[in-house]
């Protein structure tokens, strides 16, 4: 099923290209637009099957893509009513609940859409499209006769900026076994968010700002160590249990400082590392911490961001997540297939967003 989709996706029709090129930013909503809508709906379908996380949101997106495609194939305008989405989602559900259930799923999309924007753009670009699908709600949710809510898929052009997040022209993309997308852009934990809104220079005295958290942590650890040392050396007859607590406190402070300092150091060197759990929300997983250059000038500032790279396994079609390379690929991030994490292993290059097999058993 996947193969069939990608075949069609890789051949956008000539009319589609024409529409996009001649009209630039604004895509007309005339008749000629529907072939692009169809491609966009197929693109959304592919995205859902590749990056499904099992939530209600993805079931909604899948139902939306299927119903929009069905409507277009019947010669419609690709706008589907609440009841159609509901019947797709809950074939045996009571009709009275349709409005509530579907608008609940829609709200999931509204909440998550910002996080998923880049992922959809990346996915569409990997399929050879220069536009991406964007679920839309039309009409008044408050109802009223003749003003029923409709759901549709808007065709949006991919801005150049969105594609070039590296701010570095990739002159030749080498042969790749796998292409990654920035699946989501998770939000940082609230207490860390101030660190993410800033721009960092990784050279000169301004590097200090980037190193601030690590330096603070180091000072705190040093403080704890001094207090413990002072207590142990100046007080007589300390019970052994208290000594144990003091030493454990100093050890913990030292450990956290080390994690912090080595993490910040590695991030500065490699520009991407696995995000420490304390930085990210409770439900997030497999998140990377990435330093992205703001523009391509040599000493440009960088911005810190959370991102989750993912891909589809070319061997088995399962999801590939970017993880630490462990002992085998020490100091590297690699893509590991969720179905066969030890065997379907790929390299990961954040600049080209592509990778190659790291096992000798390449099917090529």
Residues making contact with Zn ion (CB under 5 A): 313, 315-316, 318, 337, 339-340, 344
Contacts for 22 with CB less than 8 Å, ≥ 6 apart: none
Q: How far is the CB of 363 from Zn ion (least distance, A)?
A: 12
How far apart are CB 344 and Zn ion at their closest, in Å? 3
Cβ 249 to Zn ion shortest distance, Å? 45
Distance CA 33, CA 333 (A): 41
C-alpha dihedral sign at 202, 207, 213, 217: positive
Residue 306: DSSP 8-state: E
Q: How far is the CB of 322 from Zn ion (least distance, A)?
A: 14
> Smallest distance, Å, CB 352 to Zn ion?
21
Of 293, 267, 263, 266, the closest CA to residue 278 belongs to 263
Please say which residue, 199 or 343, places its beta carbon nearer to Zn ion.
343
Nearer residue to Zn ion within complex by CB, 218 or 316: 316
Q: What is the chain's alpha carbon radius of gyration, rounded to the nearest angstrom? A: 25
Nearest CA among 334, 322, 337 for reference residue 358 = 334
For Zn ion, give the closer residue by CB, 337 or 358.
337
Whether the CA torsion 160, 161, 164, 169 is positive or negative: it is: positive
Q: Which is nearer to Zn ion, 154 or 339 (CB)?
A: 339
Min CB(126)–Zn ion separation in Å: 18
Comparison of 167 and 318: residue with beta carbon closer to Zn ion: 318
Collapsing DSSP to helix, strand or coil, 199 comes out as strand
Q: Which is nearer to Zn ion, 276 or 326 (CB)?
A: 326
Between 103 and 340, name the residue whose CB sits nearer to Zn ion: 340
Q: Which is nearer to Zn ion, 124 or 337 (CB)?
A: 337
Q: Whole-number minimum distance, CB 343 to Zn ion, in Å?
A: 8
Nearer to Zn ion, 241 or 361 (CB): 361
All residues at 6 or more sequence positions from 5 whose CB lies less than 8 Å from its CB, including other chains = 42, 45, 46, 49
Please state, in angstroms and rounded to a whole number, the distance separating the CA atoms of residues 178 and 8.
19
Contact between 39 and 16 under an 8 Å Cβ cutoff? The reply is yes
Rounded to the nearest whole angstrom, what is the least distance from the CB of residue 360 to Zn ion in the complex?
16
Q: How far is the CB of 118 from Zn ion (least distance, A)?
A: 24
How far is the C-alpha of 355 from the C-alpha of 334, rounded, in Å? 9
In whole angstroms, what is the distance from residue 20 CA to residue 41 CA? 16
Print burial letters for 196-219: b (CB count within 10 Å at least 16), e (below 16): eeeebebeeeeeeebbeebeebbe
What backbone phi and psi angles, to 5 degrees, belong to 294?
-80, -40
């Amino acid at each position: 099923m996947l193969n069939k989709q990608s075949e069609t996706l890789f051949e956008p029709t000539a009319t589609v290209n024409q529409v996009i090129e001649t009209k630039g930013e604004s895509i007309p909503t005339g008749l000629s637009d529907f072939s692009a809508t169809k491609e966009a709906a197929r693109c959304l379908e592919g995205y859902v099957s590749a990056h499904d996380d099992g939530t209600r949101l993805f079931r909604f997106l899948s139902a939306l893509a299927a119903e929009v495609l069905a409507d277009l194939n019947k010669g419609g305008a690709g706008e589907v009513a609440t009841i159609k989405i509901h019947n797709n989602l809950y074939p045996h559900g009571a009709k009275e609940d349709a409005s509530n259930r579907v608008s609940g799923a829609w709200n999931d999309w509204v909440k998550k859409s910002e996080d998923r924007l880049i992922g959809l753009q990346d996915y569409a670009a990997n399929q050879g499209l220069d536009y991406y699908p964007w679920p839309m709600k039309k009409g008044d949710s408050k109802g009223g006769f003749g003003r029923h809510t409709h759901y549709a898929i808007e065709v949006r052009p991919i801005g150049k900026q969105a594609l070039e997040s590296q701010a570095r022209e990739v002159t030749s993309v080498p042969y790749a076994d796998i292409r990654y997308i920035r699946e989501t852009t998770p939000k940082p934990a609230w207490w860390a968010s101030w660190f993410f809104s800033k721009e960092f220079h990784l050279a000169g005295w301004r590097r200090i700002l980037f190193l601030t958290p690590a330096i603070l942590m180091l000072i705190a650890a040093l403080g704890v160590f001094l207090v413990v040392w002072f207590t142990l050396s100046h007080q007589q007859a300390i019970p052994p249990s208290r000594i144990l607590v003091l030493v454990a406190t100093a050890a913990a402070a030292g450990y956290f400082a080390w994690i912090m300092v080595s993490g910040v150091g590695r991030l500065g060197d490699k520009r991407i590392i696995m995000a420490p759990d304390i930085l990210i929300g409770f439900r997030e997983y497999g998140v990377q911490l990435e330093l992205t250059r703001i523009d391509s000038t040599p000493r440009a500032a960088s911005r810190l961001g959370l991102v989750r790279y993912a891909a589809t396994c070319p061997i088995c079609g399962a999801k590939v997540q970017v993880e630490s390379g462990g002992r085998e690929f020490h100091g590297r991030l690699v893509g590991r297939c969720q179905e066969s994490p030890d065997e379907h292993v790929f390299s990961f290059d954040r600049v080209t967003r592509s990778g190659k097999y790291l096992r000798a058993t390449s099917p090529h």
